[in-house]
Amino acid sequence: MSIWKSIEEEAKDVATGKTTAVANVEKSLKLIDEKQEYKAIIATTRDRALARAKEVDQKIAKGAPVGRLAGVPFIAKDNFLVFGADTTAASNILKGFDAPYQATAIEKLESEGAICVAKANLDAFAHGSSTENSDYFTTLNPYDKSRVPGGSSGGSAAAVALELSPFALGTDTGGSIRLPASFCGVVGYKPTYGLVSRNGVIAMGSSLDVIGPLTRTVEDAGFVTELIAGKDELDSTMIDRAEKDYSQLDKVSLGSLNIGIVKEHMGGGLDPGVKTNVQRVISSLKKAGANVEEISLPSSKYGLAVYYILCPAEVSSNLSRYDGQRYGYSQEGVNNLEESYAKSRSHGFGDEAKRRIMIGTYVLSSGYYDAYYQKAQLVRTKIINELSSAFKKFDVLLGPTAPMNAFKIGENIDDPLKMYLTDVITVSANLAGSPAISVPAGLVEGLPSGVQIMAPQNKDKFLLSVAKRIEEIV
């Protein structure tokens, strides 16, 4: 039996006095304490969370409006600026950083009465697929403690799988919400690029980054999206919200759906257990009347290469702000400003950040720019064009979320390229800005395995509605 009800029911229980915000926050904090061995959490915001819970309860006692998430605790990945605990992005360079303002997504949730109780672990600066690049510790997979939870939002995914709170927030640049969702058996949703404000979220790859929810059900993911989506004058990269009310999903008939299976995502390199599991889902969809056909997207095999040029290029630019002067770690005993920059950065960044900064610097340097950076931008167009044609024929594309299930801690850590390959399927959605969701599709040899469903840009509500139906039949 679940520890938490649906997010909507939890909020209703608080609003109607069946339970209190304080009781919910205390329950969540107790669970966090009891499940410390999984290392999903970097820090709690205990004092602030309890104070806010009291405020919510007082409002209810007075009959004042409390919002649609009254007294619902949640956990934010530690790259969201949040009051009540340090914001570090799990990096040494930001240890001790006390946010002067909160991310817009956090503000929006708080304005509906939700309460952030803790900050979840991640690969430092969201660079990774396992949380092993965290400068704190590695989060353990709730299904097998010898395995990784996936990444980079591994702490958020493990937290939801362990039910430490009804939902968590994550960020997804190349698969960082969907991969850990698949590895931990939860729902991970990457909205259309630009639908949710990124103000107050530590930037990684700005043409790719989105934020989104990790939840136990698709309906919960829609509910959270409903409350965090929409324009924010502090983020100038936002699109108009095309659809209304993501919390009221449409009843989609599977019999009316054309579902495309990307041939290249089902090919060599795919774990046989993952493949069999996806094929089982496909048979269920066919049985339910859906038209399921294979489609070849020949350029999809270049997605990861495009990503590992564009993302590091953007990382090298975004991480240049960490220079030890305005905030963050600053090396003592240096002679001049240049030395202060370099020594602070050398100490504050881990090896993966250094690798990405140097790769980004390389592909952007004159002489290599055309061959790497611009070529990647051109191939990105080719990948987007292929996806657009696919979406003329198919309503959604479906396949595995990742080519493998949760791997052993330490298995890929000495081979950065092998670690990157975990994102080989998920990156397409980031390159195209499309919404995509990972839905749990059962266990393979005791480990969770997700299916990814992807829709065209701005079809978020449709995607969530389809995902809900698929969730029901798998």
Partner 1 sequence: MYNISHMSKISKDDVLRLAKLSNIYIDDSQIDAFAKDLAEILGYVEMLGEVDVSGLAPTEQVTGLKNVMRPDKVIDYGPSPKELLKNAPAQEKNQIKVKRVL
Q: Which residues are catalytic?
A: 77, 152, 176
Helices and strands of the chain, counted as H and E runs: 15, 11
51: contact with partner 1 by CB under 8 A:
no
Using alpha carbons only, how large is the chain's radius of gyration in Å? 21
Task: Tell the burial category of 417 from Cβ atoms under 10 Å away from its Cβ (0-12, 13-18, 19+).
Answer: exposed
**Binding mask of the shown chain, residues 262 to 281, with x at each position contacting partner 1 by CB under 8 A:** --x--xxx------------
Which pair of structure tokens corresponds to residue 141?
A: 């997979």
Reported as type and span, the H/E element at residue 310 is helix 303-318
Which residues, numbered 185-244, are part of the site for partner 1 (CB under 8 A)? 193-194, 207, 233-234, 236-239
Phi and psi torsions of 170, nearest 5°: -140, 180
Least CB distance to partner 1 at residue 461 (A): 18
Which pair of structure tokens corresponds to residue 306?
A: 């495009």
- Residue closer to partner 1 by CB (options 219, 423) is 423
Least CB distance to partner 1 at residue 131 (A): 20
Which residues, numbered 64-123, are part of the site for partner 1 (CB under 8 A)? 96-98, 100-101
Identify whether 366 is preceded by a cis peptide bond (ω within 30 of 0): no
Contact stretch for partner 1 (CB under 8 A) within 41-49, 137-145, 337-345, 394-402: 337-345
* Nearest Cα to Cα of residue 130 among 104, 156, 148: 148
- Residue closer to partner 1 by CB (options 97, 288) is 97
Q: Given candidates 38, 125, 372, 407, which one binds partner 1 under the rule CB under 8 A?
A: 372
Which residues, numbered 391-430, are part of the site for partner 1 (CB under 8 A)? 416-417, 420-421, 424
Task: Please give, one letter per residue, the 3-state secondary structure of 384-401.
Answer: HHHHHHHHHHCCEEEEEC
Q: How many CA atoms lie within 13 A of 171 on its CB side?
A: 33
295: contact with partner 1 by CB under 8 A:
no
DSSP states along 118-162: EEE--SGGG--SSSTT-SS-PPPBTTBTTB---SSSHHHHHHHHT
Least CB distance to partner 1 at residue 61 (A): 29
* Nearest Cα to Cα of residue 191 among 8, 454, 369, 466: 454
- Residue closer to partner 1 by CB (options 36, 366) is 366
Least CB distance to partner 1 at residue 363 (A): 8
In this structure, are residues 169 and 211 in contact, taking their beta carbons and an 8 Å threshold? yes
381: contact with partner 1 by CB under 8 A:
yes
In this structure, are residues 74 and 159 in contact, taking their beta carbons and an 8 Å threshold? no
Least CB distance to partner 1 at residue 397 (A): 16
389: contact with partner 1 by CB under 8 A:
no
Least CB distance to partner 1 at residue 9 (A): 33
379: contact with partner 1 by CB under 8 A:
yes
- Residue closer to partner 1 by CB (options 39, 345) is 345
Contact stretch for partner 1 (CB under 8 A) within 33-41, 131-139, 271-279, 359-367: 359-367
